[in-house]
Structure 1
């Protein structure tokens, strides 16, 4: 009698089941950690920790790979695919069910992908070389907890960052000064295209109103439809320099951008800013906008990269508005 064909669907089905189980377990752990951090006294500070941004995604991807490849025989492609799939699921779930803002999710994605790959390939390498399975299981379980405990004992650095953008304006300092001081009714067509505002949806300025000229005056900035904050004037040199200290008297900016990132919070403080107007020999003027902020996390290097992009785009757009209005005034003379 001819031999009956072997049914190899069962092991394939089992392996698929293990992969699904691995992702399901990782998502449950991720949701549990999110809820615990949201309810903890540390609040939003935990979301800017090295543990959450680096150790946690490495652990989740390592766990998925461990559960999904029990024999350690899957190809390299399997390990490469785990982090982007996990990050995609986390982004979709966070946006659809947890109401997370686009800024938080975009900032999270690159670093989770990088450390997810590190976690995945660390497991692949360790499993092929392990001699003691019990030690390996224990390290997979306790190393993330240990990393979190160690980080909590490390002092948080406070790095002052200066961000500067400038533009050449075909107008005199006297013509530019009124628009550096205040602007009313900024239209949707004013300013310039930026990735942060045109793609990610960061708010754009709508008006800036000064209550009185001189040091001690308060500029109130109105952004988007429902955002306002203050810039309290600390230096007033007409045609030369205007400086201020930021005052965020409400949470409107945080609610519009990201609940975890307050402009005057535990790990970010947007502090001061100024305009400088420098006349050039050809009759134009260099207009420079500077913003100073303090980063207070264990991932300040990563945070500074995003600050350069996001705040830099905001500065470029504000400068474009002033440039367009001042040059229009100059040409109308």
Structure 2
């Protein structure tokens, strides 16, 4: 077995190789399914690299593997290989799946104690998955996230402010977790013209909202220029296939001559093996985006009333 000081390096080399296959091989299952295999492979590698002969406690191996994974993600961030948003979302579940990989490897090492070298074949599995176009399970569902706010202004004024949002100054922005800490792009302006609402976000993100008939201010998302989405993480692109942005809607409910309850709803389609894990993240990101816009609309509408 390699000296203790070299084992993290061996783990890093394996992780880099698996990561390269993860992104460079065009065929294979969807990105979320492949990511689970990648994380499972890190669990295999953690057990085999740090404790081939099962001399360490299970949780000691888990600790060393998770520390190694954390070090790798820090390197990815320093070299701008990954975004902070992606790392914060994926690292917790990746560590959880790696723990399952460690437990599975320990069971196999115990079972084949006299031929433990056979367990090294486990390291090849995450590298082979994208080569063979194995079908991934599909779990499609439509998710809607709504944020409600009461504004002390007439519904007509609130709607006018929502239809056309001029450039948002830094002083107008509320603090949000995803924008201030994770540095996700945030809304900048929205202008309605000819049945299309042209949305601009920070970091040069641009897209369109094609208005739908009806009493509400509702739209279908459109992304005619994929280059205008480069600031978004490619693994959570609104173009799919894992996440597809569908529709947005403002509902303006008058509560009196000078008070309006506003509900902003965004609907999207989620298609991954880990929908249950990702939905709370989607709720967090969308609520922060909603609040960022509604805060500005409220302040501007109330100032004009």
Over 3 Å counting, the alpha-carbon distance change for 1:122 and 1:36 in structure 2 is closer
For the pair 1:93 / 2:75, whether they are aligned, the reply is yes
Q: Distance in 1 between matches of 2:84 and 2:272?
A: 21
Classify the secondary structure of the residue corresponding to 1:256.
coil
Instruction: After TM superposition, give the deviation of residue 149 of structure 1 in Å.
Output: 8.6
SS at 1:84's partner residue? helix
Structure 1, gaps ≥5 residues long? 1-13
Work out whether residues 14 and 45 of structure 2, in 8 Å CA contact, stay in contact via their aligned partners in 1. Answer: no
**Residues 25 and 131, structure 2, Cα contact 8 Å, conserved in 1:** no
- Native 8 Å contact 1:278 1:287 kept in 2: yes
RMSD: 2.8
Contact 1:163 1:291 in 2 (8 A): yes
Local SS of the residue matching 2:281: helix
Mapping for residues 56-95 of structure 1, pairs under 5 Å? 56-95=38-77
Name the CA distance, whole Å, in 2 between partners of 1:32 and 1:140: 14
TM-score (norm 1): 0.81
Of residues 1, 16, 23 in structure 2, which corresponds to 1:38?
23
- Counterpart residue number, 1:323: 298
Per-residue CA deviation, residues 6-25 of structure 1 (Å, 9 max, x unaligned), is: xxxxxxxx7xx544444333
- Residues 148-168 of structure 1 deviation map (CA, whole Å, 9 limit, x = unaligned): 799932442321111111111
| Deviation (angstroms), 1:282 | 8.9
Q: Distance in 2 between matches of 1:120 and 1:284?
A: 58
Distance 1:253 1:20 in 2: 45
Alignment partner of 1:25 is 2:10 = yes
Match of 2:277 among 302, 317, 332: 302
Change (3 A) 1:33 1:70: closer
User: How far has the Cα of 1:111 moved from its partner?
Assistant: 0.8
- Report the equivalent of 1:227: 205
**1:109 CA displacement:** 0.9
2:31 aligned residue:
47
Q: Relative to 1, partners in 2 of residues 1:138 and 1:27: Cα closer, same or farther, differing over 3 Å?
A: closer
Counterpart CA distance in 2 for 1:36 and 1:253 is 27
1:182 aligned onto 2:168: no
Instruction: Give the structure-2-normalised TM-score.
Output: 0.87
Deviates further, 82-91 or 121-130? 121-130
The within-5 A match list for 1:221-260 is 221-237=199-215, 241-252=216-227, 254-260=229-235
**Displacement of 1:103 after TM fit?**
1.5
Mapped contact 1:162–1:292 kept (Cα < 8 A): yes
Secondary structure in 2 aligned to 1:257? Answer: coil
Matches within 5 A, 1:162-201: 162-201=144-183
Query: What secondary structure is seen at the aligned counterpart in 2 of 1:111?
Result: helix
What does residue 3 of structure 1 align with?
none
* 1:117-156 → structure 2 map (5 Å cutoff): 117-128=99-110, 130=112, 133-134=115-116, 137=119, 140-141=122-123, 144=126, 152-156=134-138
How far residue 76 of structure 1 moved from its aligned partner, in angstroms, is 4.4
Report the secondary structure of 2:144's partner residue. strand
Task: Tell me whether 184-193 or 147-156 shows the greater mean CA deviation.
Answer: 147-156
In structure 2, runs of 5+ residues without a counterpart are none
Runs of 4+ displaced beyond 6 Å? 145-151
Larger radius of gyration: 1
Secondary structure of the residue that 1:233 maps to in structure 2?
strand
| Number of corresponding residues | 305
